Structure formats: structure tokens, C-alpha cells
Structure 1
Amino acid sequence: MLRRLVPLCLVAGLGSGLTGVLGADPAGAAPFKLDGPPKVAMVLFGPKNDGGWGQAFEEGRVRTEKALGIQIPVVDNIKESSSAIRPAVELFIKRGYNVIIGTAFGYSDTFKELAQKYPKVAFLNGSGTTNGANLESFYGRTYEPHYLCGMAAGAVSKEGKLGFVAANPFGVVNWTVNAYELGAKQTKPQATTTVVFTGAWNDPVKERAAAEALVGQGIDVIGQHVDTPTPQIVAQEKGIHGTGHHRDMSEFAPKATLCSLVWFWDRYLIPTIQKIGAGTWEPSPYGAFLSIKDGGPDIACCGPAVPKAVADQIQTERQAIIDGKKVYAGPLTDRDGKERVPAGGVLSDADLWKMDWFVPGVISQK
């Protein structure tokens, strides 16, 4: 997910960065200065071995440790309530940690309060919505990898009947579903994507039920924007294919998984921590919204079922995105025929975050 978007219906966006929509406090006029060298700690929303969101952060933490030659202690299963977040963070601060990394949308308000209470501590929050002179939220343009994975799905699908298991119909989820369909049409023009919302970010039982229902409708490739590998496991059990989210899901379904969105959080954390230590960090008043080019989410592609010519096409498109191609470029209409992006235009970040519509070819089901 974009973590954790439950209240995001208010702004239609979280993984789950929404700061440009919500309107953050402006960052300080001068770069933030630490007292002493950076001493970093991480607070995880869920378990660090969940196979998805939490584990992606854990793996990024380990790579960041190695790259910077530091130790980054972590505490996991810290839920989205001030009564859980505050004591965990303040214990780290009491022990001398001056850079705190959070990992949940639901941490946003508490991190804002803590940043104001501890102005000499730097706060970073994955999928948060609040920013300040010593606080920056960060997330990724997940629609870019899902567009590329959609290309793989369309190419492998026999009839172009794709399915998608998603958590909640928020902006950050809707943009992945739409991008998936747009990508699929590049390799299978008649492709459709049927999406089922489970109402939960991490619920293997609901994810299995949704995936099996899609298979029962004749779907032969299943995409996902939920936290566990369950949709990929179901795909492999049923002898069809799928595309993953958060990590390379071929770990769990090597025969089924064609492509996965993969988080590389260290690509953001390493240079940011270096800037904090050097006294050159200036938190963006709108948060960090990371593309593939910026070190945000990327792809693990492609599985053996993807023809080489298609895999090469996907890599060409990936490079085009790095070079400036926009997934949501006009002309673009929604499935009801309403113009959403005029010819020559590009969907704004504000409109991305509040996306509450679907492109032609998306079939939404509860």
C-alpha cells in the first residue's frame, strides 16, 4: 500500500506524499542543522517480515546501514495511534537518536506534533502527509511501475482479461489500477482490468477470496495493490499469472509472477541522511514524490513467461519514463467519456492525489 491510507478517502490518496494536496506548512528558510552526527532509528507500522510494505522498508534499512556504515535500530508493529507512536519515538530520542524514520500515513499528525516538540530532531515519514522545517514525508509515483507491469500482463494474457486485487478506492490505488490498464493496452489493445477492493491493506483471507473470484470470471493475469503476496500465490495455484506490489513477488510465486513494483527506499534515505548530516537538508514543503528516475519505486521484470521482445519493450518504456515520458498525458478521458487531460496536457500532481475516476477498460467491483 501506500501506508496507511485508511482516512485518505478525505483526499482520495495516501501508499500509501499527499502533502501537495493537503497543503503543508512551509519548510524553514535555512537548511536544517543537527546537533552532532546523524543517529538514525526507524519505526515500522507492521511486522518487518510481512513480505510486503514492512519488509520493503526493512530491506531498505539494511541497505542504508551498509551504505552509510551506521546502525539503524528498528521497532516494528507500531500502530497508527499517538499512544503507540509517541512512546516509541520518544524512547529513541531519549537515547540520543536525532533522525527518526516513520513508515505510515497514520503517523502524519503525531510526527508533526513530535517535530514541533523536538525541533533539533529530523523526521522522515514514508507515505505521510505532513511536512515542516524538520519533517519531510515521502512516497513514490507507483503508477509508473504499474504501467510497465500492465504491459507484461497484457502481453501474456490470452484474451486480455486482467484482474486486480486492491485495498481501497483511494487516489493512490486508483492511479495504479488506471496505469495498469493503460500499460496493458500497449501490448493488448482490447485488454480490460476488473478490480476488486478488499477494504483492507493486509488481509490474506480477503485477498484470496478476491483473487479466486477473479479467476472464476476467466481472468488470467492478476495485478495487486495490497500488502501480502496472496494474489500471486493464488495465481500460481490456479495456473495463471500475476504481477506484484511492494517487493519482487516471484519469491512466493516464481512461475506465476511476471513483474512486480519494488520499493528501493534506500535510494531516498541514503542521500537524505547524508544531507541531514552535512547540514544541507531542506525539507520540501510538499514532501518528496519520487519517480523511477528519482529513486522511487521501480520494477522487477520480467518472469520467464514474458517474451523477450516484450521484456525489451518494457525496458524501453521504462527508459522513456526516466527520460520524461508521462503516463497520464493527454488526450485522456475517463470511462464515462469525460475529458480528464486535454491533448498536449499532463495530469497535475494535485489531480493525481484526488483521482476518483477510471480509464476506459477498467471494470470496478466491490
Structure 2
Amino acid sequence: MMMSRRKSLLAAVSFAVLGLAACGKKEEAASAPSVPVSAATPEALKVAFVYVGPVGDAGWTYAHDAARKQVEAQFGDKVKTTFVESVPESAADAERVFRDLAGQGNKLIFGTTFGYMEAMLKVAKDFPDVKFEHATGFKTADNLAQYDVRTYEGAYLAGVAAGKMSQSGKLGVVASVPIPEVLRNINAFTLGARSVNPNATTRVVWVNKWFDPGKEREAATTLIGQGVDVLMQNTDSAAVVQTAEEKGVLAFGWDSDMSKFGPKAHVAASSIDWNVYYGKRVAAVLENKWQTGSTWWGLKEGMIDLKHYNATLPEDVKKLLEERRQGVIDGSRPIWKGPLKDNTGKEVLGKDVVADDKFLHAIKFYVEGVDGKVPG
């Protein structure tokens, strides 16, 4: 519209000048007419997201993509987002995708799984004008920041509810890969359960993948066969909740609401709101205020919470969950406080000692109450 408007004005000016000349009038050339021109629209910030699994309709990647959509809604035409799903954690595959996205002009790129760390570091060196953000890792660079969510806080609250709801005291976790992040979640779930039922125990079956519905289903079935009546997961599909529904036991959604996959089984969901972080980081780039660093947010910042309660969850359990939630937030009820032992009887935290983040990032053990050994 602006170009056609400018052409019309220029045509009118030319016609007037020609008309004056035809009448034989000799006048000083008038100064060029002032034609209003809009300021150039800034180019939208291109933001890319790389996902380890398919977006689907529940779980880890679904939660990230929901936040991506929130970014679009929040910033409108100031941003243009894209995503690539189901990118393996193998270095060659991940590097190729990150390099391609940077080459396409994306100036802010999020990689959403631990296994992307080395590939992102490598690509970041070759694209110093691009901002990279890596989820759940621990390495940073001048143009590579690291971010994570305190998923163990949601797992702890799920454990509190599980300890109250279990009839057998036997709990189970379908686990992905044995890294500190996942071990924290298993341990926090167990600590929550044993805080209300000291005799509760947790059994773990590892599937060694983040997303494999078939293996997740098999693991859940195995645990139920061992007498487990409440399941938690640290995997990305809804297969565990579906299996719980079919077998008549209870389960917790992970990373997002999974109640539609098991209306009776689904007790609650440990849900992540990634946009709490993504919105701030996109704004920082748009305002030229982006800085590298490490971020680890949780209940206090509103990045995770246990919610989407089943309508049948007793009121006393809801009240207890609210008390524990507030205790974690204000520090009056820390999750990791000594004396704390691993499941071999070794003390890992002394009496009244509260774990710091360094301790939490280095967890490679099961706490007392978890059966078995951590895979080597």
C-alpha cells in the first residue's frame, strides 16, 4: 500500500509541473514535496527449537513446543519461530541440524536435551553472532547459555501424593537414561513418599531412551507385575499412564497433563512451563540484553508444579501438597536435608546439612528406599 501511495503522489506532482510549463510560466523550481514514508519494519528475530522426540500431544517435547507457541503469541511479528523434531542425540546428527539452522539465519537456537551439549558447543564456535541455549547440560560459552528446570521438585510432590495413595507401599519408576537429572527425580520421588510412609519403596526399570512407547509400556507392565500400585516416569510418552489405566493402578503424568490417556489412573502431573524461561530469553535478545550463563528454575519461579489433579484426590492430600509446595519454595521444608543415606547405608548428607546445587548436579546414587543399583 505504501508504494502505490507514493507513486500516486509523485504522479500528481509531475502533472502539476507540466501544467505550469505549458502555461509559459517561469517559476523557481519548488522544493520536492514531502512524501510520508514509514520507517522500515525491523526484520523478525528468527528463533529455532530442536527437539529430541516428536511433538506429539504430551510429555517433554510437547511442553517445549507449547512454550514455542506461547513465544509466538507473546511477541507477534517481532519473532519467527521454527522447530525440528525427533533429532537424535548422536553428535553427527545434532551438529548437522544446528549448523543448518544457524546457516538459515536463526539468531537464537534452543537445544532441548542433554545429549546435544557437545554438538552445540562445536557449532557455537563457528557462529559467534548466533545465541545458543542448551537445556539440562552444564557447559557454557560466550554465545552458549545453559538452562534447566528443577524437575525433582515436581517429582518430590508426586512422591508425597504417591506415599499417601499407595495401598501396597510399592512404587515404581519407568526411567530413561541414568544421568544425574533422572537420578535426582527418582530419589526425590522416593524421599517424598517416605516422608509420609517411611516403609515405602521404589523399584526402577530403565529403558535407556527418552522416547520409546513400546519399551515404556513393557517397563510399566513389569513393575505392575512386581506388585507396584503407583507409577512415576521420567520418559516422554504417555505409555506409562495408559498402561496404568489398563492395569488398574495409579500413575503421574510427566512434563505435561496426561490425564486424557488415563482418566482414572492419572493422579496428577508434574508439569513444566518452559515459557517462563523462553519468554525472558527472547526478550533479552530483542532488547540486546542477552548474556550467557546457567539458569535452574523451579517451583519458586513458576517453571514447574504438580497440578491437573484427579477429581478423586482427597482434600487432605491436596492440603498436604500445598503445605509441602510452600515449604520447598520458602525453604522451610527442603527436600534434600541430612541425615541422608544412599541405599547401601552410606551417609551422603550429614545431620541438618541442606544440599547445594553442586551436590545435586553430582548425584550418582539411589537414596535409601530405592531398590537395586544405579546402572554403570
* Shorter-chain TM band: 0.7 to 0.9
Cα RMSD of the aligned pairs, angstroms, is 2.1
| Alpha-carbon distance in 1 for matches of 2:129, 2:284 | 15
- Bigger drift between 143-152 and 302-311 goes to 302-311
Q: 1:176 to 1:96 in 2, by over 3 A?
A: same
Contact kept, 8 Å, 1:170 with 1:354, in 2: the verdict is: no
1:348 shift after superposition? 2.7
1:131 shift after superposition? 0.9
Contact kept, 8 Å, 1:301 with 1:311, in 2: the verdict is: no
Q: TM-score, normalised by structure 2?
A: 0.82
1:64 to 60, 71, 84: 71
Contact kept, 8 Å, 2:140 with 2:146, in 1: the verdict is: yes
Does 2:326 match 1:311?
A: no
Larger radius of gyration: 2
- Secondary structure of the corresponding residue to residue 364 of structure 1: coil
| Alpha-carbon distance in 2 for matches of 1:81, 1:361 | 34
Match for 1:354: what amino acid? A
2:250 to 233, 241, 254: 241
Match for 2:325: what amino acid? R
Q: 1:14: which partner in 2?
A: none
2:45 to 38, 44, 49: 38
| Alpha-carbon distance in 1 for matches of 2:146, 2:95 | 17
Does 2:268 match 1:259?
A: yes
Q: 1:301 to 1:314 in 2, by over 3 A?
A: farther
| Alpha-carbon distance in 2 for matches of 1:304, 1:349 | 35
| Alpha-carbon distance in 2 for matches of 1:206, 1:52 | 16
- Bigger drift between 338-347 and 147-156 goes to 338-347
- Secondary structure of the corresponding residue to residue 372 of structure 2: strand
| Alpha-carbon distance in 2 for matches of 1:361, 1:81 | 34
1:171 to 180, 185, 190: 180
| Alpha-carbon distance in 2 for matches of 1:99, 1:195 | 37
Q: 1:94: which partner in 2?
A: 103
Match for 1:228: what amino acid? S
- Return structure 1 stretches of 4+ with deviation > 4 angstroms: none
Match for 2:199: what amino acid? Q
1:57 shift after superposition? 1.0
Contact kept, 8 Å, 1:196 with 1:364, in 2: the verdict is: no
- Secondary structure of the corresponding residue to residue 222 of structure 2: helix
Aligned residues: 330
CA offsets 1:258-301 (integer angstroms, 9 cap, x no match): 122212111111011112222222211xx222222134332224
1:192 shift after superposition? 1.4
Q: 1:359: which partner in 2?
A: 367
- Secondary structure of the corresponding residue to residue 80 of structure 2: coil
After superposition, residues 169-208 of structure 1 pair within 5 angstroms as: 169-208=178-217
After superposition, residues 149-168 of structure 1 pair within 5 angstroms as: 149-168=158-177
1:337 shift after superposition? 2.1
| Alpha-carbon distance in 1 for matches of 2:162, 2:308 | 11
Match for 2:318: what amino acid? A
Q: 1:315 to 1:36 in 2, by over 3 A?
A: same
1:212 to 221, 227, 231: 221
Q: TM-score, normalised by structure 1?
A: 0.84
Contact kept, 8 Å, 1:146 with 1:180, in 2: the verdict is: yes
Contact kept, 8 Å, 2:44 with 2:80, in 1: the verdict is: no
CA offsets 1:315-356 (integer angstroms, 9 cap, x no match): 221122122242111221222222111122122322222212
- Secondary structure of the corresponding residue to residue 258 of structure 1: strand
Contact kept, 8 Å, 1:139 with 1:296, in 2: the verdict is: no
Contact kept, 8 Å, 1:41 with 1:73, in 2: the verdict is: yes
Does 2:286 match 1:277?
A: yes
| Alpha-carbon distance in 2 for matches of 1:294, 1:273 | 17
Match for 1:175: what amino acid? R
The one of the two structures with greater contact order (alpha-carbon pairs below 8 A, sep at least 6) is 1
Contact kept, 8 Å, 1:334 with 1:357, in 2: the verdict is: yes
Contact kept, 8 Å, 2:168 with 2:227, in 1: the verdict is: no
Q: 2:125: which partner in 1?
A: 116
Identity %: 35
Does 2:335 match 1:327?
A: yes
| Alpha-carbon distance in 2 for matches of 1:51, 1:301 | 13
| Alpha-carbon distance in 1 for matches of 2:358, 2:43 | 37
1:148 shift after superposition? 0.2
Return 5+ residue gaps in structure 2 as ranges: 1-41
Match for 2:372: what amino acid? S
Contact kept, 8 Å, 1:104 with 1:125, in 2: the verdict is: yes
Contact kept, 8 Å, 2:136 with 2:147, in 1: the verdict is: yes
